[in-house]
Structure 1
Amino acid sequence: MPTLERRVLPGLHAEVSVIGAGCWTIGGPATNRGVPIGWDDVDPGRAYAGLVRAHELGVTLYDTADVYGLGRSERLLGRLLREVRRNELVISSKVGYFAGTARHPYDPGQMRRQFATTLDNLATDHLDVYFLHSGDFGDDDQSLAGAINVMQDLREQGLIRAIGMRAPHTFAEQWAASDHPEEHKIARWLSLFHEIQPDVVTTRYNLLSPLYADGETDIFAFALSQGVGVLIKQALGQGLFLRNDQRLLATFSGSDHRHADPMFTEENRRLVHARLAPLRDRYGARPADLARVALRYVLQHAPDAAVLVGFRDADQINTTLTCLGDPLSDEEITEIRALLHPSTN
């Protein structure tokens, strides 16, 4: 079996597998302050088998969060960390959505308590990356300075190696100084970026992400210019790209985030399915066929980033990790963009 490719992640200055295990999905159903944040149909035994299979296939990067299953995801990953060499892995977790009984998730005391719980859940004495999971720092950003101080202190103590933060789903640096509709959002994010000074950012990027105009600096070029690493999420559209006709009518419980996510309305699922039809005709309709195209497209666009993929069992992660095959040719990438983004060509 081919060895999973590896890359050195800027900012962290560590080698990671190009595909990492995104552990949100294995947390199972959950709600936080009445908001659905989980995933249905997760069996802990099967989820753990997926973690084991990922490790067997060469995954060295694992990403979780305190709020994923309200600790269940971290504890499953901690079970794996008790069985393998910790120093061979890169582990990231997040803070910023779960407040407990504190006034705000970024209350310094709450952050430190959550960090201690995260280390305990993960059976480790340090994290490689610790993300500020939310961009909500309270009224007038009153919790921002305290949150930055906590993160910098954890890094100075060697308890974390790198500070992470989220990037917008769509981003061009030039939008912050223009009349673009997202001008204010991008300007605020850039302000936060320069104040927080993260080492790693995470962003959504996939086949359906917009193409940028000549002269626009996307998040990957921006991060590289800043010496910052990027972890890519939702490369498979949270599994939506791999759904067949029979699964388009699936329903979700009130503890599954898809229950309230506009991306997973029946109408949008059908629209995405129809939009990807040319790719199924060209490359094949099996999940492995579509996963290969989707992952190669992203990896080749962002050669300095790593991609996080979700899973709920060993079969799912096995399909994702063994489908990569050969890189797409330049002609294939051009064709894919023409098929999926005809109005920009």
Structure 2
Amino acid sequence: MSDSTIETTRLGTDGPLVGVQGLGCMGMSEFYGPTDTGEALATLERALELGVTLFDTADVYGSGANEELIGPFVRAHREQVVLATKFAIERRADDPHHRGVNNDPAYVRKAVDASLRRLGVDVIDLYYMHRRDPDVPLAESVGAMAELVAAGKVRHLGLSEVTGPELREAHAVHPIAALQSEWSVFARGVERSAVPAAAELGVALVPYSPLGRGFLAGAFADAGQLDAGDYRRHLPQFTGQNAAGNAELVAPIRKVAEQHGATAAQVALAWLQHRTAAHGLTAVVPIPGTRRRTRLEENLGATRLVLTEEELAELEPVSARVSGSRYADMSSTADAREV
């Protein structure tokens, strides 16, 4: 791949200008097996060289370790980097599997200060509510987030895994620049109500897991092939009969890839690029996660790939045939709150 940089787009009506593809940093610290810190840091630098400016982390990734990892990189390139982090998912030291959701205003204020300390910066460019707690009024949570903007600790607000009505409610309290939700050829639940609302409000979509956590890229065909501590071993789509059936669904993606001399990962990402026009969105900026420069460069090749209407039609039925849920426990996802 040449060193030419990718194009840019804007998150939301008045949000930051970013490269059309971002970088998810979660796997550099946790969840997807052993990590190589040196290669991860080199990947961050290479991403910036190639025009990636949106770097995504969260306080829950490695229990703060991921923010600490990318902090020096962010500080070294502060004027170029658009820093996104998230709050709301709580972990407990005595139970590594516990995942609580906290949207209380007091917690929002505490969480942002902790993230700023770990990152070593004065302001966060894009601050997301990672998950929604229906027991806390959304207006209160977003109101607390808006206070952070007024205080100069945060520049723009985002939400993750919310429904269309929730997005509208939040946007009425304070402008939302971006909605981050799982969206891929395999996972299209976000299209039910959130995407139409985002198009109406001028909110950008930031798809996470755009490559099905590596499954669409051919990184594995069954979670049993992964390291014992890999988080994906517990995801229903990638185990047992679900995995076997879903692996067959990658075939049409590979077929389209062969027609372009591309990879399945590039086709899956290019499919998302086409969602901008297909749904009348202001922007769709996927954040595929990777810890290696080779994968990064492969993913960025998708920004130059244009699929035909016929090829898009071939991929249209795939998601309806996917077996298994995205998570073992779907209770904190937007899908669980769709009516």
Normalised-by-shorter TM-score class? 0.7 to 0.9
Moved more, 144-153 or 222-231: 144-153
Asked whether the equivalents of residues 11 and 200 of structure 1 are also in contact (C-alpha less than 8 Å), the reply is no
Asked whether the equivalents of residues 12 and 161 of structure 1 are also in contact (C-alpha less than 8 Å), the reply is no
Mapped pair 1:220 → 2:195? yes
Q: 1:338 and 1:107, CA in 2 relative to 1: closer, same or farther beyond 3 A?
A: closer
Runs (5+) with no aligned partner, structure 1: 29-37, 174-186
Pick from 233, 242, 254: which aligns with 2:208? 233
Counterpart AA for 2:159? M
Counterpart AA for 2:177? D
Mapped pair 1:123 → 2:117? no
Deviation per CA, 1:187-208: give whole Å up to 9, x if none. Answer: 6676566567633211221112
- Give matches, 1:21-40, under 5 Å: 21-28=23-30, 38-40=31-33
Q: 1:23 and 1:12, CA in 2 relative to 1: closer, same or farther beyond 3 A?
A: farther
What is the match of residue 335 of structure 2?
none
Mapped pair 1:150 → 2:144? yes
Pick from 287, 297, 301: which aligns with 1:322? 301
Mapped pair 1:20 → 2:15? no
Mapped pair 1:94 → 2:77? no
Q: 1:126 and 1:342, CA in 2 relative to 1: closer, same or farther beyond 3 A?
A: closer
What is the match of residue 136 of structure 2?
141
Pick from 226, 245, 248: which aligns with 1:274? 248
Asked whether the equivalents of residues 23 and 73 of structure 1 are also in contact (C-alpha less than 8 Å), the reply is yes
What is the match of residue 183 of structure 2?
205
Asked whether the equivalents of residues 12 and 229 of structure 1 are also in contact (C-alpha less than 8 Å), the reply is no
What is the deviation of 1:87?
2.1
What is the deviation of 1:8?
1.7
What is the match of residue 53 of structure 2?
60
In structure 1, distance between residues paired with 2:42 and 2:26: 15
Deviation per CA, 1:225-280: give whole Å up to 9, x if none. Answer: 112222111211111111267766413435x4323221221432222211111332
Asked whether the equivalents of residues 184 and 211 of structure 2 are also in contact (C-alpha less than 8 Å), the reply is yes
Asked whether the equivalents of residues 276 and 340 of structure 1 are also in contact (C-alpha less than 8 Å), the reply is no
In structure 1, distance between residues paired with 2:261 and 2:122: 38
In structure 1, distance between residues paired with 2:25 and 2:57: 5
Counterpart AA for 1:222? A
Q: 1:244 and 1:81, CA in 2 relative to 1: closer, same or farther beyond 3 A?
A: closer
Counterpart AA for 1:141? V
What is the deviation of 1:130?
0.6
Mapped pair 1:8 → 2:1? no
Runs of 4+ in 1 over 4 A off after TM superposition: 187-197, 244-248, 285-288, 338-343
What is the match of residue 77 of structure 1?
70
Counterpart AA for 2:203? V
Mapped pair 1:313 → 2:313? no
SS at match of 2:263: helix
CA RMSD of the aligned region, Å?
3.2
In structure 2, distance between residues paired with 1:342 and 1:106: 34
SS at match of 2:90: coil
Counterpart AA for 1:55? L
Q: 1:41 and 1:205, CA in 2 relative to 1: closer, same or farther beyond 3 A?
A: same
SS at match of 2:316: helix
Q: 1:319 and 1:229, CA in 2 relative to 1: closer, same or farther beyond 3 A?
A: same
Runs (5+) with no aligned partner, structure 2: 94-99, 278-282, 323-339
- Give matches, 1:248-287, under 5 Å: 249-254=224-229, 256-284=230-258
Counterpart AA for 1:223? A
Counterpart AA for 2:87? V
What is the match of residue 50 of structure 1?
43
Q: How many equivalent pairs are there?
A: 309
Counterpart AA for 1:157? A
In structure 1, distance between residues paired with 2:33 and 2:169: 37
Asked whether the equivalents of residues 167 and 189 of structure 1 are also in contact (C-alpha less than 8 Å), the reply is no
What is the match of residue 275 of structure 2?
301
